[in-house]
Amino acid sequence: MKRRWELTFQKEYEAWEGKSAALRELACLRVQFPAILQSVRDGDLLAGIASYRAVGFSPKDDEEFGWYLRPGMMEKEIAEAEGEERAELEVVRDYFLSRRGKAVTRACMDEETNRVLPSDDLEDDYPAYPLYRMTGCIVDYHRLLDGGIPGLREEVRAAARKNPGHEDFYEALLGALDLLADCCRFYARQCAELACQAGDARQWELRTMAANLEAVAKRAPQTFWEAAQLSWLYSIVAHTLDYGRMDDYLGTYLARDLKSGAVTPELAQRIVDSMWLLIADKRTTVHGRVMVGGMGRRDPESADLFIRYAFEATRHVRRNEPQLSMRWYEGMDPELLHLAMRLLGEGTTFPILYNDDANVPNVGKAFGVSREDAEQYYPFGCGEYVIGGRSFGSPNGVLNVARVLELTLHGGKSPDTGRQIAPPCGESFSTFEELYAAYLASAEHFIRFLAKQEAAEYEAAGKMAPFLLLSLCYDDCVARGEGMFSGGLRYLGGTLESYGNITASDSLLAIRKLVYDERRVPLRELVRALDGDFPDEALRQLCLDAPKYGNANREADEMASRMHDDLCRLVAAQAEANGLSTYLPVLINNDHNVKFGKHTGATADGRKKGAPLTNGNSPSGGMDRSGLTSLLTSMASLSGEQNAGMVQNLRLGKDQLIRCRDKTEALIRAYFSLGGTQLMVTAVSTRELRDAMARPELYQNLFVRVGGYSGRFISLPRPVQLDIISRTAYGEA
Amino acid sequence: MLKGMIFDVARAAMDDGPGVRTTIFLKGCPLRCPWCHNPESQRFSRESARDKYGKPVVYGQELTPQEILAIAERDRSFYRLSGGGVTFSGGEPLAQAAFLAESCRLCHEAGLHVCVDTSGFASEEAVHAVMPYVDLFLLDYKQTGEERHERDVGVPLSPVLDTLALLRREGKRVWLRCPIVPGYQDRPEHFRAIAALEREYPCIERVELMFFHTLGRHKYAQLRRRDPTADLTPFTEEEKEAFWRRLNDDEAQMGIDISERI
């Protein structure tokens, strides 16, 4: 019987224990690849599918990173194994339990940080949690494609000559490049074998794929198909889940081949479609970002051509990934925005639109980088910005600010259990400013420890491994002779995911008006009503009637901005002390607004206990009642100068996007001209959503933007479906 | 102080003239079109109703022209890129001529594009008063035939045609807006008449067919009034398509260039 792969992996790791981390990673990668690579499927025009095992090495695996362990999968293997093998597997499990990302991170966190952030279960009642991952790998694909594998090899050798004392690292990098070439050859052989059994048309495809793979194993890619193949296989082996500025790194090859006739438009489209399908089939839900458009591309004209193929692929492959995103600026080909609007009108939820005219200057300020660097900003995953190829900013802490406000109103104690969770702050505040200051102080407490935790997590990652394949394609790891997380990266920053921001700011305003300005209700009484989930409907009505963000209401927007600016400042202030290049908040959303909402009591904006919190910096569901221009005005009012991204969800009736497409496009451009940073558009009416809940079988292809990701509506949990329905739809007929 | 009676303001209005607009709805109308989807617009005075939850709603708020300008100004950045502006609708906005003229003047002088959406049933003086400040008139053409017109909407047709003639004389731009309601206007001679108007009046830049819908039905209930169109059902998309074809055919026969619309 074949020896279990996990045992080999563990033995290899153990053999290198206490020696070079770089060579250890290489040795284990050699066990992992090509072993976990899966067969090319019928119809694939690009080779590269990986199926990760119960243990292994990856920058991000589920809720883990580095030397990871999938407990569920491992237990299953153990249950299946017998006798000695079972015992051996148990040893492997126990071995990695203490060496995996989570454990190493916790060990790097000091005692106090562990105490403030005790729980990894987001369904607990804390306002802050750590996440374990090295996510958001946006590598510089030009580094890979320009010179191919041999080009990188040359660069590594040259750096090694200039930079003595890092022999292990350089040796491991060269080994990783050999491994990548081996993976190319592995698939080349496989394609050649499959070709022997294939029909005529497929045979030609497989033979060409084999030739492409052979070619890129030993030289730089020369055709569009080769470049697409090499970039894809690299992404698989390095395990990046977002795919960079694809129009920028593939556009030139595409344009050249189309011009020379080396590829027909039909074949080029099928290659892009194949890439889309491979991305979709990875089913990451929140990753799979493909960016097109924007400033700072090498060859914009060719890149624009690629965008048309990307749009068409999204039209063909109707899935929730890739999360096709388009960076836009005034001056880009307006036809591309027309095409984007058309695609959105078809209900694809893509492309997600980003406004470079606002974002490039904002990123320059927030990250403190040059315009040239800022032009390479990239929203990965749910929408967190990094500087592609140059910075890392894994979002590894989450903060529920609505819960922080709730705790503040209770002297730092959980109203349900009476447990002291936040620092004690008293419960009576004679002025609004006193309350606000206590709220910020409480938020700062958690932010401080989340920042420490982020730094600890990078320390853990740096100890674990240099992440060789990624380090090859990030500035300045090769030149410095260091892995990404041990000094190699140009900018090592962090991000903090903040939830329930608008719930909190609308609540603060309601408290200020009702308790302090108008003296309609004493604070104590209001808090009691919140604790009882509004037993008195009249009081709730007062809360609901207070001004709400999303209506271009000055007071509500100012409160949102004030709180936003203060929180951004508090987060950013933590960078230096923790040795991070930046530490920035993101107002993104997955479905945490629903999850955290479940564990947050009633709030003074009129929200009932357990109801979803606001999503990104979108208004409370249904509270934006003053028309689309007002919503867009509110959303554009929050500054992007001290954060790493905010997501804005907009639900439009199909009618609006189809019948009034030009006017809607003008609205979006106007919103961008006001400084709006981003927009995610779902084109679906409330009627359709309700009908889809009742008759899901008829709505297999109905996609909605949940937050920072798109989902098949009928597959979403019911509370998330209801949250989406509660959001105002504009232009519904 | 000069004040107008307003019953609603719609921001980001998509259907009241070119671009994205803010529409100011003036309360009070001398006409009684049975298909009216804004029954709360008909009376000149403030009135109260109850919504479906029993919550009181008041229709009618007095605003000054300066306040109107301030509302319209809010979305200025959205007008610019879309070619939009402010639209005065109703009710019949020309029924509050002095207030309308002053509001239009302020908006016009602030550089906003101004539309007036009118039934055309107004005095010549009223039209003259607002005209200098209006970029585009959205003029309703509700029914063909004097007798039918008076019977259906309660006022004669000739003042409407007089207004159209006046606008032509003064070189104003006009979009003709034609409600098409089952049993009222869905007859060939009405479409021929629209086409004839379009040929006769070069000031008409565009014809819009506004098909009957039921979105205003709940408001009749709120106001405890009988909905005169309660028995009507909206046209299907195919029928609407057929009406457009019909109009285009008539226009083509009369030698009107319809290339832009197709």
3-state secondary structure B34-74: CCCCCHHHCCCCCEEEECCCCCEEEECEEECHHHHHHHHHC
At residue B75, the 3 state secondary structure works out as coil
Check if A477 contacts B (Cβ < 8 Å): no
Q: B74: distance to nearest CA of chain A, Å?
A: 9
The tokens describing A666, both together, are 């003008």
User: With an 8 Å Cβ cutoff, are B82 and A666 in contact?
Assistant: yes
Among residues B118, B141, B132, the alpha carbon closest in space to that of B172 is found at B132
Please report, as a single letter, which amino acid is at residue A563. M
Q: Is residue A471 predicted with pLDDT exceeding 80?
A: yes
pLDDT at A732: 66
Q: A331: distance to nearest CA of chain B, Å?
A: 14
User: With an 8 Å Cβ cutoff, are B20 and A633 in contact?
Assistant: no
Name the DSSP letter for residue A609: T
Q: What integer best gives the mean pLDDT of chain A?
A: 94
CB B139 within 8 A of CB B176: yes
The tokens describing A234, both together, are 């690299």
Question: Beta strands A323-328 and A352-355: pairing type?
Answer: parallel
CA distances to A313, A679, A681 from A340, in Å: 13, 12, 11
Check if A730 contacts B (Cβ < 8 Å): yes
Angle between helix A401-409 and A523-531 (nearest 10): 120
Give how far the C-alpha of residue A623 lies from the chain's centroid of Cα atoms, to the nearest Å: 27
Q: Which of residues 84-103 of B touch A (CB under 8 A)?
A: 84
pLDDT at B57: 87
Q: B84: distance to nearest CA of chain A, Å?
A: 9
At residue A310, the 3 state secondary structure works out as helix
Best residue of A667, A687, A732 to probe chain B, by most B CBs closer than 10 Å: A667
Q: What is the pLDDT of residues A126-161, one digit of tens each?
A: 999 999 999 989 999 999 999 999 999 999 999 999
User: With an 8 Å Cβ cutoff, are A663 and B82 in contact?
Assistant: yes
* Interval A455-478 mean pLDDT: 96
- Chain A contact set for B82 (CB, 8 A): 662-663, 666-667, 670
Q: Is residue A1 predicted with pLDDT exceeding 70?
A: no
SS (H, E, C) A540-590: HHHHHHCCCCCCCCHHHHHHHHHHHHHHHHHHHCCCHHHCCCCEEEEECCC
Among residues of chain B, what percentage have pLDDT more than 90?
Answer: 81
Check if A630 contacts B (Cβ < 8 Å): yes
- Nearest-CB residue to B20 (from A626, A629, A630): A629
pLDDT at A4: 84
Q: DSSP letters along A351-414, please?
A: PEEEEHHHHHHHHHHHHT--HHHHTTEEEETTTEEEETTTEE--EEEEEEHHHHHHHHHTTTB-
User: With an 8 Å Cβ cutoff, are A633 and B74 in contact?
Assistant: yes
The pLDDT confidence band at residue B258, using thresholds 50, 70 and 90, is low
CB B182 within 8 A of CB B232: yes
Query: How open is the CA angle B109-B115-B118, to the nearest 5 degrees?
Result: 130
Name the DSSP letter for residue A423: P
Among residues B234, B193, B189, B241, the alpha carbon closest in space to that of B214 is found at B234
* Interval A325-334 mean pLDDT: 97
CB A590 within 8 A of CB A707: yes
- Nearest-CB residue to A627 (from B11, B19, B80): B11
User: With an 8 Å Cβ cutoff, are B10 and A628 in contact?
Assistant: no
Please report, as a single letter, which amino acid is at residue A310. A
Tokens 């470079």: give the residue.
A356
User: With an 8 Å Cβ cutoff, are B81 and A670 in contact?
Assistant: yes
Among residues A493, A581, A486, A491, the alpha carbon closest in space to that of A172 is found at A486
Name the DSSP letter for residue A513: I
Best residue of B22, B51, B81, B244 to probe chain A, by most A CBs closer than 10 Å: B81
CB A488 within 8 A of CB A566: no
Check if B57 contacts A (Cβ < 8 Å): no
pLDDT at B261: 52
Among residues of chain A, what percentage have pLDDT more than 90?
Answer: 82
Min mean pLDDT across A219-223, A702-706, B79-83 is at A702-706
Check if B128 contacts A (Cβ < 8 Å): no
User: With an 8 Å Cβ cutoff, are B74 and A656 in contact?
Assistant: no
Domain boundaries defined on chain A: 5-118, 120-139+389-615
Give how far the C-alpha of residue B133 lies from the chain's centroid of Cα atoms, to the nearest Å: 17
Q: What integer best gives the mean pLDDT of chain B?
A: 93
Q: Is residue B97 predicted with pLDDT exceeding 60?
A: yes
Q: Which of residues 58-77 of B touch A (CB under 8 A)?
A: 74-75, 77
How many Å apart are CA B169 and CA A417, to the nearest integer? Answer: 79
Check if B188 contacts A (Cβ < 8 Å): no
Check if B164 contacts A (Cβ < 8 Å): no
CB B116 within 8 A of CB B93: yes
A551, closest residue in chain B (CA to CA): B11
- Chain A contact set for B113 (CB, 8 A): none
CA distances to A165, A551, A674 from B74, in Å: 64, 11, 12
How many Å apart are CA A49 and CA A32, to the nearest integer? Answer: 13
Q: B75: distance to nearest CA of chain A, Å?
A: 7
pLDDT at A326: 98
Q: B251: distance to nearest CA of chain A, Å?
A: 23
A662, closest residue in chain B (CA to CA): B82
CB < 8 Å & 24+ apart, contacts of A223-227: A223/A253, A223/A257, A223/A262, A223/A263, A224/A250, A224/A253, A224/A254, A224/A256, A224/A257, A224/A262, A224/A263, A224/A268, A224/A271, A225/A45, A225/A257, A225/A263, A225/A267, A225/A271, A226/A253, A227/A145, A227/A253
CA distances to A223, A242, A316, B22 from A282, in Å: 25, 11, 17, 46
At residue B156, the 3 state secondary structure works out as coil
**Exposure letters A50-65 (e unless 16+ CB within 10 A, then b):** bebbbbbbbbbbeebb
B80, closest residue in chain A (CA to CA): A670
A554, closest residue in chain B (CA to CA): B74
Q: Who contacts A597 (Cβ-Cβ below 8 Å, separation ≥6)?
A: A402, A500, A610, A611, A612, A613
- The length of chain B in residues reads 262
User: With an 8 Å Cβ cutoff, are B77 and A674 in contact?
Assistant: yes
Name the DSSP letter for residue A619: P
Q: What is the pLDDT of residues B58-73, one digit of tens each?
A: 999 999 999 999 999 9
pLDDT at B50: 83
Among residues A304, A290, A302, the alpha carbon closest in space to that of A352 is found at A290
Neighbours of B131 (CB within 10 A): 17
How many Å apart are CA A231 and CA A221, to the nearest integer? Answer: 10
How many Å apart are CA A248 and CA A26, to the nearest integer? Answer: 30
Q: What is the pLDDT of residues A388-424, one digit of tens each?
A: 999 999 999 999 999 999 999 999 999 999 999 999 9
CB A146 within 8 A of CB A389: no
**Superfamily designation of domain B5-253:** Aldolase class I (3.20.20.70)
* Interval B15-22 mean pLDDT: 95
Angle between helix A554-572 and A432-464 (nearest 10): 40
Q: Is residue B262 predicted with pLDDT exceeding 60?
A: no
Q: A663: distance to nearest CA of chain B, Å?
A: 6
| Phi, psi (rounded to 5 degrees) for A415 | -65, -25
Best residue of A337, A338, A634, A663 to probe chain B, by most B CBs closer than 10 Å: A663
B18, closest residue in chain A (CA to CA): A663
- Nearest-CB residue to B81 (from A552, A633, A666): A666
Check if B20 contacts A (Cβ < 8 Å): yes
CB A309 within 8 A of CB A269: yes
Q: B177: distance to nearest CA of chain A, Å?
A: 17
User: With an 8 Å Cβ cutoff, are A629 and B12 in contact?
Assistant: yes
Check if A656 contacts B (Cβ < 8 Å): yes
Number of residue pairs across A and B with CB atoms under 8 Å? 54
pLDDT at A129: 95
At residue A350, the 3 state secondary structure works out as coil
At residue A253, the 3 state secondary structure works out as helix
Check if B82 contacts A (Cβ < 8 Å): yes
Q: Is residue A712 predicted with pLDDT exceeding 90?
A: no
* Interval A642-671 mean pLDDT: 87
User: With an 8 Å Cβ cutoff, are B75 and A633 in contact?
Assistant: yes
pLDDT at B185: 95
The tokens describing A71, both together, are 């407990």
State the pTM of this model: 0.93
Neighbours of A684 (CB within 10 A): 25
Name the DSSP letter for residue B248: H
How many Å apart are CA A540 and CA A606, to the nearest integer? Answer: 5
A627, closest residue in chain B (CA to CA): B11
Q: Is residue B56 predicted with pLDDT exceeding 60?
A: yes
Q: What is the pLDDT of residues A500-553, one digit of tens each?
A: 999 999 999 999 999 999 999 999 999 999 999 999 999 999 999 999 999 999
